[in-house]
């Protein structure tokens, strides 16, 4: 009988720790719309410091963080944003920048490492001389780490180059930094240096950092002032939000140092590659996300494997009929990883043709 669940579906599944719950219970709060909730203020000042930006704003989700950031940069009608065709903003945020903000997306191919070719970005920038027909390019969006390519890290050199291109053309640069702390830990580059070229960043507190709720957007004072108003317009102005921010302050303290362990556990899990019938692009496992393919000749689908794993108390996220995503977080231990490897190995035994994957 399974007594404990190992939840590998995402790093959004973590439960608040005892320390977080204590901090939430004791949090000093006030109405964060009428004035500043003191604990929200404390978190925002800390996030501005860590990211090297002038100001910060707590928002209920990463989706809202990206939406507000794009809409502030693209407030003028007819604006266009250049973003990755495999980016979270383009794929998983309900097209909010268009449906709510009237911003035109200009998707450009993401490479397997999460970057977008600088030449392709340059080509995608609209020629202002033809404004009678063209939308106006106002923003470039990057995503670091890049979730859909397996948590790949964009280097500081690449980010700076995109920043220079943006500046040269009078554009702004936003980074969807849902997992920027993971990228920082993996690259051994401080967060503030990694996002130095960005005009705004949206940072998830509720992913690898393990806070129960929320994100923070950072940028200039003027940008955050506009963002605060737009947050209210979108219904994201909350009252005694310090209860949530207190947990996030604990997460920053307790869990940032644990990210390297998450990455080590992910690399151990890439050992799935040794199991007959499975394949992992080992080079792509740079942070806490592992995708694995079920090879032809393995008579099992991702869905079926997920169901078998559930019987062993392990939750996975099938990405397609033959591809599965695993995301490691601080509530997955090294022994959980070993148990997962052995359960998947057992499930794959007997369902794989002799010459499968050869
Ligand atoms: C890269 C990335 N950006 C943004 C988000 C959105 O965050 P939220 O789920 O808090 O809306 C997610 C996932 O949730 C994500 O993986
Ligand atoms: C699914 C996606 O929206 C979420 N960001 C995750 O990575 O789990």
Nearest to 344 by CA among 271, 283, 289: 271
pTM of structure: 0.97
If DSSP codes are grouped into helix, strand and coil, which group holds residue 252? helix
Pocket test for ligand 2, best of 7, 9, 12 (most atoms within 8 A of CB): 12
Indicate which atom in ligand 1 lies nearest the CA of residue 66.
Answer: 4
* Beta strands 79-84 and 136-143, pairing class: parallel
Cα(229)–Cα(235) distance, rounded to whole angstroms? 10
**Distance between CA atoms of 73 and 227, rounded to whole angstroms?**
10
Please tell me the number of the ligand nearest to residue 317's CA: 2
Tokens of 191: 């967060």
Question: Is the Cβ–Cβ distance between 121 and 128 less than 8 Å?
Answer: no
- At 358 the pLDDT is 57
Mutate to test the pocket of ligand 2, among 10, 67, 319 (most ligand atoms within 8 A of CB): 10
Q: Sign (positive/negative) of CA torsion 72, 73, 77, 82?
A: negative
Per DSSP, the residues of 333-345 read -HHHHHHHHHHHH
CA 327 to chain centre: 11
Q: What is the predicted pLDDT for the residue at 57? A: 98
Q: What string of pLDDT tens digits covers the 358 residues of the chain?
A: 666 899 999 999 999 999 999 999 999 999 999 989 999 999 999 999 999 999 999 999 999 999 999 999 999 999 999 999 999 999 999 999 999 999 999 999 999 999 999 999 999 999 999 999 999 999 999 999 999 999 999 999 999 999 999 999 999 999 999 999 999 999 999 999 999 999 999 999 999 999 999 999 999 999 999 999 999 999 999 999 999 999 999 999 999 999 999 999 999 999 999 999 999 999 999 999 999 999 998 999 999 999 999 999 999 999 999 999 999 999 999 999 999 999 999 999 977 777 776 5
pLDDT on residue 306: 97
| Closest ligand 2 atom to 10 CA | 8
Per-residue pLDDT at 1: 62
In DSSP notation, 128-178 reads GGGTTTSPEEEEEEEESSBGGGTSBPPPHHHHHHHHHHHHHTT-EEEEEET
Minimal-distance CA residue to ligand 2 atom 2 = 92
Among residues 255, 229, 203, 247, the alpha carbon closest in space to that of 56 is found at: 203
Residue 348, classed as helix, strand or coil, is helix
Distance CA 54, CA 64 (A): 20
Complex prediction ipTM: 0.97
Supply the residue whose CA is at minimum distance from atom 3 of ligand 2: 92
Are 296 and 356 in contact, with CB atoms under 8 Å apart? yes
Ligand 1 — pocket residues by CB below 6 A?
12, 61-63, 66, 88, 143, 147, 176, 178, 204, 206, 215
Strand partners, 37: none
For residue 11, the CA-to-ligand 2 centroid distance in Å is 8
Spatial distance between the Cα atoms of 350 and 250, rounded to a whole number of angstroms: 46
């Amino acid at each position: 009988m399974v007594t404990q669940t190992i939840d590998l579906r995402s790093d959004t599944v973590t439960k608040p720790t005892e320390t977080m719950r204590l901090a939430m219970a004791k949090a000093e709060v006030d109405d964060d719309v009428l004035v500043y909730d003191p604990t929200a203020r404390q978190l925002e000042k800390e996030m501005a410091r860590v990211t090297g930006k002038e100001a910060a704003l707590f928002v209920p989700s990463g989706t809202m963080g990206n939406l507000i950031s794009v809409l502030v940069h693209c407030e003028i009608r007819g604006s266009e944003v250049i973003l990755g065709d495999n980016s979270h903003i383009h794929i998983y945020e309900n097209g909010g920048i268009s449906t709510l903000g009237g911003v035109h997306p200009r998707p450009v191919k993401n490479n397997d490492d999460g970057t977008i070719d600088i030449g392709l970005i340059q080509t995608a920038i609209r020629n202002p001389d033809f404004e009678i027909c063209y939308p106006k390019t106002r923003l470039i969006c990057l995503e670091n780490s890049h979730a859909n390519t397996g948590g790949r890290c964009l280097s500081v050199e690449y980010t700076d180059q995109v920043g220079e291109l943006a500046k040269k053309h009078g554009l702004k640069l936003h980074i969807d930094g849902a997992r920027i702390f993971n990228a920082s830990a993996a690259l051994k580059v401080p967060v503030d240096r990694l996002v130095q070229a960005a005009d705004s960043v949206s940072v998830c507190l509720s992913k690898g950092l393990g806070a129960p709720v929320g994100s923070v957007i950072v940028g200039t004072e003027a940008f955050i002032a506009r963002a605060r108003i737009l947050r209210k317009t979108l219904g994201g102005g909350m009252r005694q939000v310090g209860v949530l921010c207190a947990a996030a302050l604990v997460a920053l303290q307790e869990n940032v140092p644990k990210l390297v362990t998450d990455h080590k556990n992910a690399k151990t899990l890439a050992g799935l590659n040794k199991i007959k019938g499975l394949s992992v692009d080992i080079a792509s496992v740079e942070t806490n996300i592992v995708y694995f393919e079920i090879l032809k000749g393995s008579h099992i689908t991702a869905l079926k494997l997920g169901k078998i794993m559930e019987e062993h108390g392990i939750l996975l996220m099938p990405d397609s009929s033959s591809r599965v995503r695993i995301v490691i977080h601080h509530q997955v231990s090294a022994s959980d990883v070993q148990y997962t490897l052995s359960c998947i190995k057992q499930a794959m035994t007997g369902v794989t043709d002799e010459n499968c994957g050869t």
